[in-house]
Amino acid sequence: MAGPGLKEMAGSRELKLGHFIVEFATPGIGQILKGAGCDFALFDTEHSGFGFETIKSVTRYMQAADLPTIVRVPSKEYHHIARAADMGAEGVMLPMVGSSEEARAILDCLKYVPDGRRGVALAIAHDRYLPGPTLDKLAAANRRTTLFAQIETRQGVENADALAALPGVDCLWIGHFDLSCALGIPGQFDHRDFGDAVKAVTRACRKHGKALGRLVPTVDEAVALHQAGFDFLCYSGDVWALQGAVKAGLDEIRARTAGKAKGKDPSKRSKSKKK
């Protein structure tokens, strides 16, 4: 039985946990993440180098695993937004959204009439190649597509209330590294200015009943952010999870064998005693 889609998830303040894909677009990735207990996946095309052919393939892998997927596109250009949606992206994430005017322009690219101006292509990847009445198809696509607007600039923080108030914006997602850089405090997430910016975005989401999301590198940080009001949490990413797990195992093997390597060989000690 199919689980909740991204639109339904965004309408709830319950905790949603996912994983970030930036390197491994393997055919098994959807089943792997579903088996790990993910509620959603975040597939990156801003920094990964993945193109539209890969988006199209990966969305099929995720559909097969019944794993709702957000695709982060590299820009606010029409051809990035609309094509990602055409390839089957249920959720689309946009970097550095600074104003409600920008968000409205994004929605024009993402939604069909009467909610937007997206060019119509039906019975293709996004609606699973199924036939059907045009108006029903357009309405279903508009209900399904989910917009995640990244807050990564001073302007985005200043306009967080207007962004959260806009119908069609489903989640404000804090891009913590870029936001810290925009505030002039790169990587200083304990800085007061960064904390104040996060609080402003959090207040906007609570006021307008919108979801709030972020990438998180550790379990402790995820727990703390959930307690602070975040409900979409993307835990780690494929590169770092694999690297961390392998490194932990190798480090333990080296640590546990170090003493034996420094000691004398028991067989040699036995021979010396016989002499």
Helix (H, G, I), strand (E, B) or coil at 147: strand
What values do phi and psi take at 200, rounded to 5? Answer: -65, -40
Structure tokens at 170: 């489903």
Rounded Cα distance between 110 and 143, Å, is 11
Q: Look at residue 275 and tell me whether its pLDDT is greater than 70.
A: no
Other beta carbons within 10 angstroms of residue 58's beta carbon come to: 25
Q: What CATH number is given to the structural domain containing 138? A: 3.20.20.60
Q: Look at residue 269 and tell me whether its pLDDT is greater than 90.
A: no
pLDDT, residue 262, reads 63
Would 10 be classed as within a structural domain?
Answer: yes
What values do phi and psi take at 239, rounded to 5? Answer: -60, -50
Would 118 be classed as within a structural domain?
Answer: yes
Rounded Cα distance between 192 and 179, Å, is 13
pLDDT, residue 271, reads 52
Our count of domains for the chain comes to 1
Range of the domain at 188: 6-274
* DSSP-assigned letter for residue 264: P
Question: How confident is the model over 204-253, as pLDDT tens digits?
Answer: 999 999 999 999 999 999 999 999 999 999 999 999 999 999 999 999 99
Question: How confident is the model over 54-100, as pLDDT tens digits?
Answer: 999 999 999 999 999 999 999 999 999 999 999 999 999 999 999 99
Q: Look at residue 267 and tell me whether its pLDDT is greater than 90.
A: no
Question: How confident is the model over 20-59, as pLDDT tens digits?
Answer: 999 999 999 999 999 999 999 999 999 999 999 999 999 9
pTM, entire model: 0.92
Helix and strand counts by DSSP (H, E) for the chain? 13, 8
Would 219 be classed as within a structural domain?
Answer: yes
Would 121 be classed as within a structural domain?
Answer: yes
Would 96 be classed as within a structural domain?
Answer: yes
Would 1 be classed as within a structural domain?
Answer: no
Q: Look at residue 259 and tell me whether its pLDDT is greater than 90.
A: no
Q: Which of 47, 80, 126, 226 is catalytic?
A: 47
Is 208 considered catalytic here?
A: no
Q: Report the run of H or E that residue 235 belongs to, with start and end.
A: strand 232-237
More confident call, 17 vs 263: 17
**Paired strand residues for 133:** none
Would 261 be classed as within a structural domain?
Answer: yes
Question: How confident is the model over 165-181, as pLDDT tens digits?
Answer: 999 999 999 999 999 99
Would 169 be classed as within a structural domain?
Answer: yes
